[in-house]
Amino acid sequence: MISSCNILKEFPQSGQKQVVLADHPDFGKIIIKTGDIDNLISLERIKREVDLLSEIDSIFYPKQYLFNIDLKSKRFEIVEEYIEGKTLRECADNFKTKKDIFELLLKLVDGLNLIWSEGIVHRDLKPENLIIRPNNMPCIIDLGIARFLQSNSLTISIAPYGPCTPIYASPEQLTNKKQLIDHRTDFFALGIICLELYLGIHPFVNHKNDELISIVDNIMQNLYVTSTDLVPEDLAITEFANNTLQFQPYNRFRNQYVISKFLKEQI
């Protein structure tokens, strides 16, 4: 596939994948992901992601075009739709008011409900994995470590923590308590994203006894801020945070319908 395309741009490596933007004669602009198949577990993760995106037909996820495996070289190639837009990290300043933030979160919940309803947890929600189109519609990318609750777990039970981006991970991910992972694990990441947009800083960055505590340590101690010297507290933002950032999943919003209802009432 790569040899038949015009390579337009190379992106930083994402996990085990090399990622390029290319121009294809039939599909137009596409994203091509290639990498090594290290073991059967990594292959199964790739196949699950590809199969999931192949089944979803939604504006909230990129379309899947091709998936190739070369068993001789132990390499894989994934071809998917290119999403025009910027990552939420790049355009975070467009979402500073409560209304803008909650409207974005409501769209994300609608999109995530497509996989939550199938027993799938994204597990890696973060600004880099959310593409915001010019019309402000989000596209959710990189389901490479998604947890399929109805399938066998691919994470080693004795591992100190599960697959994640630590500073956006829930306590149950950081402690590898696989039995606690469900849609409320993604709620935790949404709570972080909400406060980070509103405050302009990661909410688990703070000081205790005048010593800087790491973000992961603060997550494990449930120490987060809802205001700063520059940004006053907003009661609705704080309520959303308090209902998504609870240490125990059972203390968070119960399900996606409750979280959607809350967001709609605030907009």
- Give the residue numbers spanning the domain of 150: 86-266
In the numeric block, which tokens belong to residue 214?
């790491």
User: Is there a single domain that holds both residue 178 and residue 207?
Assistant: yes
Q: Above 80 in pLDDT, residue 15?
A: no
User: Is there a single domain that holds both residue 76 and residue 207?
Assistant: no
Q: Above 80 in pLDDT, residue 16?
A: no
Domain boundary among 63, 81, 99: 81
The pLDDT of residue 75: 87
Domain boundary among 81, 107, 135: 81
Burial 82-91 (b: 16+ CB within 10 A, else e): bbebebbeeb
Mean pLDDT in residue range 49-65: 89
Mean pLDDT in residue range 187-214: 85
C-alpha–C-alpha distance, residues 91 and 98, integer Å: 16
- pLDDT, mean over the chain: 89
Confidence of residue 223 (pLDDT cuts 50, 70, 90): very high
Please say whether the beta carbons of 169 and 219 come within 8 A: yes
Q: Above 60 in pLDDT, residue 209?
A: no
Q: Above 60 in pLDDT, residue 154?
A: no
User: Is there a single domain that holds both residue 110 and residue 163?
Assistant: yes
CATH number of the CATH domain containing 46: 3.30.200.20
User: Is there a single domain that holds both residue 72 and residue 155?
Assistant: no
User: Is there a single domain that holds both residue 100 and residue 223?
Assistant: yes
Nearest of 52, 77, 8 to residue 150 by alpha carbon: 52
Counted domains in the chain: 2
C-alpha–C-alpha distance, residues 63 and 136, integer Å: 18
CATH number of the CATH domain containing 171: 1.10.510.10
The pLDDT of residue 67: 86
C-alpha–C-alpha distance, residues 204 and 213, integer Å: 9
User: Is there a single domain that holds both residue 147 and residue 209?
Assistant: yes
Confidence of residue 124 (pLDDT cuts 50, 70, 90): very high
